[in-house]
Structure 1
């Protein structure tokens, strides 16, 4: 017997006295109130404006986790049954705690990581994206983001140089995911049966060739794909961290003799440790010779394509098969925003081979042609392209080019200043905005040099005026500066050099005193 709609409705439980089954509670309505949003946004924007305007030289205020846990817990409402009343003061304290405990990316004292203070307009558009909440893997869910993605692909490809009718670009959440997706596309091209039948019966063991300086996300991707550490072929690098093509061929030949079936060579355009750029033209020729897909991890350095001064470092990029490009690094966008490019759009569709009736249209049309879900992992993803497209639309590419040129120039200035100091030793000439060096007075053994750099880095971080990082080069720690703020100048660099020297001398004196006391103690 078929029930009528009225019969079904009558079976619903009756609302309690004072409740309406058709109206939300006043507290629920108030949480979504536009006026409250306006007032809250005005207060938050005011606080962020002051935060942006603070040009003081400051580093990281690193709190003990238990201290921060206590402070954050005290800001949480104790209401567990009803909706708590809105507390503007609580929101303000949360914002202040958030900004106060974060890395001060807009300060000239910040020189430690590869993410940047964003172009302020980009953050406003990111707010718009949060409010309108348009997941952008499908055109019908995010119309303008999908159009903007197509437009930015066309704009940026002007600097790459691929065939306009053949290339493709998709945004994805971070360089690690982009590298994984590109390797998946490369694997599926070389081993088309793996997607459906698995690796069993595959002729040869699938393998990839990577630089000794490759980002860990590349080797992690190999693990995710089931390639295995033993099937990762490491290519030798020079002292600057660049792949040596002349030494790579014998390594590839040896891998073939071991029964490995290489399908991809991964090059870097701006390594994480020293910002090195692999010789792409030579590696492209090598990849063609061995029938390999050439993927370029340009998460950091691909942005140099926008610079007339530095574009030559990516000479040969048009011969690559795929490219990872992080906009949240040297395009100064909110993270994450990664652009994954393919020279051949059919390869982009080859990364994933699935059908799902609830998202993929059986009969493609003019709208679904703009969908990106078939080319990326995410079904729901943020409209991450919108801040970049908006800033590009308002300011044009010169904004990015000028800031990139400025950052590279300051890194070069830092190199010259450090190299002129007799008790410092630079490890390389900067190719972009990354410089590594050591505080190394005469007479120190390698073990002492290593420990000294670690201690200097930690004390600088704890001091709260500068924030720098460290990296191991040839097994010995080095101090690492990443210039991401265009306001950094020679005075800030001189302050950093002085602070490093002062700390280094104090550490060495304390160590000498401790050794002296230990010797005296052993003789007594």
Structure 2
């Protein structure tokens, strides 16, 4: 059996069997012993990085300074292949780790990408060295099997039939949203792939939340539908689509001659972490024959948590779902999962023939191919880190961390609501919270500029990294809690730093800091 022979070869190598290496100048770059030493060097530095207890945000280096430092690390050898320089490699790693966002530090509270479970990074290394593009089974056998296994596990959480639904991996949520819209458009307008939008007749349109991710607007533009054919759906104060206004909005679009073929809902918006009322939206779209796509890039992971999956009630009625594992499933980016309730609809996104990749006579191997369902032909085996974690630790690993982050965000809400000089803008539904620093001394016209100045100064200080978002046209401070090492003590330190920074900005005024624009 092939697997047995492979294991025998591994055992032979480990036990001192003969090694065959390439001859000539290339030998050093491909030498396994040299690679082993390099990995050990990386591992030592990464261990120190992971164990660092210091509160760090972001050391934002001027691009010209970083360019100079990086250029100095480049070999000047051009005539031949430079010999391996372990010191140079070490300095490259140090520069990389020191200038990046410190995602494993308690000071990181600003973005939606996660500090990864370290084992996931190790599997990413294996995938990089093995280099098995996974759009086709023959190129990446285990990645395609792992993709099918994870589809079974996660589709069951969605509530779909695992026999009739399907899942494909894509390089990011933007790609997944675009692909889902393609499938929805091609179902509604079967001839559009061949004849184009002008030749199909009608006016294709998409309905989406006022607070939808910008990638959906971008996808509408890429598809040639046009921004003027986006039907904007009003949201409430928490950023959720108001279902009572969806029907009238769709009726008004129809009177304008628009054919709305897809409604895009959100499960965890980027700005406020809002979850749209999926069950109510499904009741509105299904009778009209409108495809319901859910952008759950951030929030779909709550399905793994028994305590929080109710946030996605109604997801089983959706037609497709985008789910970023590199957010709340804590694996390296990109790793996006795109699900279809009707597996046959996945093939509707792309209608092509290419003899060099698509088999004329499907067999048990090509049945696992995904190249006909996603835009990428060469695609990283991005499922491997997720499947490895799921296989080694089980789903409780993800559920425990999600539960902790949601509870921590609820604690942040309680702490900020108790502070008289802060205004909390919503009750968090997951791990995103928006708020403002609003001292009594603040002039009415300075609310927006003060939040921006606070965020910029805190980022420059380098201890905490938080983000900002505009809500109702006014800037707000935003924390995204992705790190299980954060506790209430760190939140208290952040609140104190925001207050101190805010008062300093107000004291400095426009005379001391023109870019803040705050009145003295």
Counterpart of 1:183?
181
Question: Once the two structures are superposed, what CA deviation does each residue of 1:178-211 show, in whole Å capped at 9, x if it has no partner?
Answer: 0000000000000010101111232321000000
In 1, Cα distance between the equivalents of 2:354 and 2:231? Answer: 36
Q: Which runs of 4+ in 1 moved over 6 A?
A: 512-515
1:349 aligns with 2:347: yes
In 2, Cα distance between the equivalents of 1:201 and 1:246? Answer: 35
Is 1:135–1:142's contact at 8 Å kept on the other side of the alignment?
Answer: yes
In 1, Cα distance between the equivalents of 2:22 and 2:391? Answer: 41
Question: Once the two structures are superposed, what CA deviation does each residue of 1:438-491 show, in whole Å capped at 9, x if it has no partner?
Answer: 001125344301000000000000000000000000000000000000111111
Is 1:457–1:468's contact at 8 Å kept on the other side of the alignment?
Answer: yes
Q: Following TM superposition, by how much is the alpha carbon of 1:513 offset from its aligned partner in structure 2, in angstroms? A: 7.0
Structure 1 residues 112-511: aligned runs within 5 Å = 112-511=110-509
Counterpart of 2:3?
none
Provide TM-score, normalisation by structure 1: 0.93
Provide TM-score, normalisation by structure 2: 0.93
Structure 1 residues 58-69: aligned runs within 5 Å = 58-69=56-67
Counterpart of 2:9?
none
In 1, Cα distance between the equivalents of 2:67 and 2:177? Answer: 34
Runs of 5+ consecutive residues of structure 1 not aligned to the other structure: 1-22, 516-524
Q: Following TM superposition, by how much is the alpha carbon of 1:25 offset from its aligned partner in structure 2, in angstroms? A: 5.4
Larger Rg: 1
Q: Which moved more, 1:436-445 or 1:93-102?
A: 436-445
2:263 aligned counterpart, secondary structure: strand
Counterpart of 2:40?
42
Counterpart of 1:76?
74
Counterpart of 2:96?
98
Q: Following TM superposition, by how much is the alpha carbon of 1:351 offset from its aligned partner in structure 2, in angstroms? A: 0.5
Is 1:55–1:106's contact at 8 Å kept on the other side of the alignment?
Answer: no
Q: Following TM superposition, by how much is the alpha carbon of 1:78 offset from its aligned partner in structure 2, in angstroms? A: 1.0
Q: Following TM superposition, by how much is the alpha carbon of 1:220 offset from its aligned partner in structure 2, in angstroms? A: 0.2
Is 2:432–2:481's contact at 8 Å kept on the other side of the alignment?
Answer: yes
Is 2:192–2:199's contact at 8 Å kept on the other side of the alignment?
Answer: no
Q: Following TM superposition, by how much is the alpha carbon of 1:261 offset from its aligned partner in structure 2, in angstroms? A: 0.6
In 2, Cα distance between the equivalents of 1:245 and 1:458? Answer: 37
**Number of equivalenced pairs:** 493
In 2, Cα distance between the equivalents of 1:217 and 1:446? Answer: 34
Is 2:467–2:478's contact at 8 Å kept on the other side of the alignment?
Answer: yes
In 2, Cα distance between the equivalents of 1:249 and 1:333? Answer: 39
RMSD (CA atoms): 1.2
1:213 aligned counterpart, secondary structure: coil
Is 1:423–1:441's contact at 8 Å kept on the other side of the alignment?
Answer: yes
Q: Following TM superposition, by how much is the alpha carbon of 1:291 offset from its aligned partner in structure 2, in angstroms? A: 1.5
Gap change, CA 1:24 and 1:514, over 3 Å in 2: closer
Q: Following TM superposition, by how much is the alpha carbon of 1:158 offset from its aligned partner in structure 2, in angstroms? A: 1.5
